[in-house]
Chain A
Amino acid sequence: MSVPVSLRVGPMASTVLAKKRYLLFYIFLIWISFLPVLLEFWIYWRVFTEISPTYFYIFLPFLIFTQYVTMVLTSLIFSKMCLELVKRIHEPQEGIFLRDVSDKDYRYWSLRNIIKRWPVWLAHKFPFPFLDNLCFKMFGVKTTFSNSLFEGWVDTEFIEFGENVVVGQAAIIQSAMILGDFFILKKTFIKDNVRLGVHSIVMPGTHIEKNCVLAAKSVTTVDQELEENWIYVGVPAKKYKKNHFFEDDLEKVIGNQQRVDARKLREKYEEIYLKQKHRDAGIIERMRIKQEKKEREEKRLEKSAKKQREKQKKRETEQ
């Protein structure tokens, strides 16, 4: 259905670095995308005022429709040209970069997003999803036209979709992320027949294999791999059960289901995350487990401290 105001999280290109001189791109794209619209109206006016004013009014809706589409298409073509130019100067690449103006990758990433913003915004404001998919295809997201990505928020680069993928309402798919002082850019793969639930979030670098389901309100971590034919649930997403719903003749099994007991389900969820055996153990057993955990933590900290010290030594020797 149509996306309400509160759920409309697009335009899809998020930027953090906003510079005044980037406005030039906006102005150029907006100006150039209005030119063919005016030309179309001029031709229409010349043709139909000579014939009859009633025809002018009858075919005016078609004119408005085509004007909007041509506006999106022209802005798409020109922004693509700008993008190619920017790509010639600096090739986009995956990796972890500094989130700072001095970092070239971060700067060019935000510049690319600025260029994409106007056509993507225009396409997303259109009630029908076709222009949206066209935008993604032009900007280098690998999709097919049958995928429905319209209801969610999808990044415009470094994403690969398979066939028959459905992105749920208000779901977010990212290929870029900002974490403190770092800026992470990683390719996300989503393969065939994947369904992403309502309000779910896919982080950069996630691989989602075929026939997977990411249930509603669950979140994947960076670089997580979701195995084939599984249903994943929770924050962060964990294996819940096998996806049997691609088998035949399940209509009666699903249709005859009783009401789900929410309390039992909650316990099941907690079991996945907390591990039941620790809760059932006695006081002494639990104390021992705690002690072990503490020791493990200390060892880990020592190791990381050692590594840091070695790194510092290396730096000093290099200097």
Chain B
Amino acid sequence: METEENQNQEEILEEYKLDFTTSSAISKMNLKFLVLYLLIFWISAFPVMWFAHGWFRAKPLISEDTSPWIATLLFFPWAIFCMIYIFFLSCTLISKLFLIIINLIHRPKEGVFRAEEGNKDYEFWRLRIELKKLVLWIARNLPLPQADALALRLFGIKMDFSSHMFDAWIDPEFIEMGRKVMVGQGAVVMSSMVVGKYLIIKKVFFDDYVVVGGQSHVAPGTFIGKDTVLGAVSSTNYNQLLEPGYIYFGIPAIQLKENKYAEERRDIIVKKDVDKGTKYVVKHDVNIDEDKKHLVQKADEEISKEKS
């Protein structure tokens, strides 16, 4: 009898399992956020206006008392470039200021909340996302990927500039990245999603050297280990763990094979003994194709030359 009851309970739990993914697009638009947008837009345009005013005052187009008008026109493209990035920087700083104030009122936290008006966590989640919208839109439309990384770093993603996610859709909070993470084109990384009445926020981890393929999506709560590859057009589930050093593929992603390609860059390991000042070179057995092995041998010869 007990086993039957257990089975019944398991079946019920199975029904409530989150083994599918929806989306983290905001569930309700609201016109009241327009005031916020306009405020950020207006304040962050001041430095740009000041710059433009100074530009035309210092080198006036019509009067001939200062430098010639040709110089103004010649350097005008450069001035436009400056103005765009000044606008971006002031925009990020001002929204960061707003964000700090909002986070002081209510701290963002992980968990399961009700996605209804009146729930504090849900409303502040929406507010945070709306606040970040303008800056991220500008960053996405600018040609430099560094702008993207800077904005995301300021907004609460732990990452450094060696990671690349310029062509992906990414939630701007509760994501942690190691070094040299690559997220492919059209991939979607979510740290929050709404299912039915509930909003689920959970942290996403990317360890070092992780590669996420194009058009794949990463659900909240995913942990991707070191040197792991998530293939293209594949997906992870809520709370899924991808072990380090494997290639994962499919919907949902399962282990395909070991990631041998990751070993290539560690073919020669150099150890240094700090006390004696000596240097050891340890050769590693490498899985490189036969026709490319002569390249490695060349590197070996160079090292031996250096030794001598």
Question: Do residues A57 and B240 form an inter-chain contact, with CB atoms below 8 A?
Answer: no
User: Does B18 sit within 8 A of A, measured CB to CB?
Assistant: yes
In this complex, which of A151, A241, A245 has the most chain B Cβ atoms within 10 angstroms of its Cβ? A245
Q: Say yes or no: A1-B23 contact (C-beta < 8 A), given A130-B29, A244-B15.
A: no
B50, B196, B217, B251: the one within 8 Å of A245 (CB): B196
Interface size bracket, A side: 35 or more
User: Does A304 sit within 8 A of B, measured CB to CB?
Assistant: no
Which of B160-193 touch A at CB < 8 Å?
Answer: 166-172, 185-186, 188, 190
Question: Do residues B28 and A255 form an inter-chain contact, with CB atoms below 8 A?
Answer: no
User: Does A266 sit within 8 A of B, measured CB to CB?
Assistant: yes
Inter-chain contacts of B214 with A (CB < 8 A): 6
Question: Do residues A197 and B171 form an inter-chain contact, with CB atoms below 8 A?
Answer: no
CA of A303 to CA of B141, assembled, Å: 57
* Chain A 231-266: CB-based contact to B (< 8 A → 1; otherwise 0): 101000000111111111011011101111011011
Inter-chain contacts of B250 with A (CB < 8 A): 266
User: Does B1 sit within 8 A of A, measured CB to CB?
Assistant: no
* Chain A 46-73: CB-based contact to B (< 8 A → 1; otherwise 0): 0000000100011011101100000000
Question: Do residues B129 and A57 form an inter-chain contact, with CB atoms below 8 A?
Answer: no
User: Does A133 sit within 8 A of B, measured CB to CB?
Assistant: yes
User: Does A14 sit within 8 A of B, measured CB to CB?
Assistant: no
User: Does B235 sit within 8 A of A, measured CB to CB?
Assistant: yes
User: Does B197 sit within 8 A of A, measured CB to CB?
Assistant: yes
B38, B168, B217: the one within 8 Å of A217 (CB): B217
Question: Do residues A1 and B196 form an inter-chain contact, with CB atoms below 8 A?
Answer: no
User: Does B61 sit within 8 A of A, measured CB to CB?
Assistant: no
Q: Say yes or no: A6-B16 contact (C-beta < 8 A), given A128-B37, A262-B240.
A: no
Question: Do residues B239 and A257 form an inter-chain contact, with CB atoms below 8 A?
Answer: yes
A133: nearest chain-B partner, CB-CB: B29
Interface size bracket, B side: 35 or more
Inter-chain contacts of A215 with B (CB < 8 A): 20-22
B52, B53, B168: the one within 8 Å of A4 (CB): B168
Inter-chain contacts of B215 with A (CB < 8 A): 199
Question: Do residues A61 and B49 form an inter-chain contact, with CB atoms below 8 A?
Answer: yes
Question: Do residues B235 and A216 form an inter-chain contact, with CB atoms below 8 A?
Answer: yes
Question: Do residues A263 and B238 form an inter-chain contact, with CB atoms below 8 A?
Answer: no
Give the shortest distance, in Å, between A79 (CB) and chain B (any CB): 23
Q: Say yes or no: A6-B168 contact (C-beta < 8 A), given A198-B190, A217-B251.
A: yes
Question: Do residues B235 and A130 form an inter-chain contact, with CB atoms below 8 A?
Answer: no
CA of A57 to CA of B50, assembled, Å: 8
Question: Do residues B196 and A166 form an inter-chain contact, with CB atoms below 8 A?
Answer: no
Inter-chain contacts of A146 with B (CB < 8 A): 28-30
The SS class assigned to the A binding surface is loop
A170, A199, A254, A266: the one within 8 Å of B200 (CB): A254
Question: Do residues A169 and B17 form an inter-chain contact, with CB atoms below 8 A?
Answer: no
CA of A216 to CA of B216, assembled, Å: 10
User: Does B229 sit within 8 A of A, measured CB to CB?
Assistant: no
A267: nearest chain-B partner, CB-CB: B254
Give the shortest distance, in Å, between B29 (CB) and chain A (any CB): 5
Which of A268-296 touch B at CB < 8 Å?
Answer: 268-269
Inter-chain contacts of B113 with A (CB < 8 A): 251
Inter-chain contacts of B136 with A (CB < 8 A): 1-2
CA of A263 to CA of B13, assembled, Å: 18
A241: nearest chain-B partner, CB-CB: B15
A7, A64, A127, A216: the one within 8 Å of B133 (CB): A127
User: Does A108 sit within 8 A of B, measured CB to CB?
Assistant: no
Inter-chain contacts of B238 with A (CB < 8 A): 257, 260
Question: Do residues B23 and A197 form an inter-chain contact, with CB atoms below 8 A?
Answer: yes
Q: Say yes or no: A7-B41 contact (C-beta < 8 A), given A60-B49, A216-B217.
A: no
Q: Say yes or no: A213-B251 contact (C-beta < 8 A), given A7-B169, A255-B111.
A: no
User: Does A147 sit within 8 A of B, measured CB to CB?
Assistant: yes
Give the shortest distance, in Å, between B136 (CB) and chain A (any CB): 4
CA of A40 to CA of B62, assembled, Å: 24
B28, B50, B112, B195: the one within 8 Å of A213 (CB): B195
User: Does A117 sit within 8 A of B, measured CB to CB?
Assistant: no
CA of A246 to CA of B196, assembled, Å: 5
* The 6 A-B residue pairs with the shortest CB-CB distance in the complex, in nearest-first order: A245-B196, A168-B23, A2-B137, A61-B45, A127-B137, A215-B20
Q: List 25 A-B contacts (CB under 8 A).
A: A4-B167, A60-B45, A61-B42, A127-B138, A130-B29, A130-B34, A147-B29, A148-B25, A148-B27, A148-B28, A150-B29, A152-B25, A166-B194, A170-B186, A195-B195, A197-B22, A199-B215, A213-B20, A215-B21, A231-B20, A245-B198, A253-B13, A259-B240, A260-B19, A260-B252
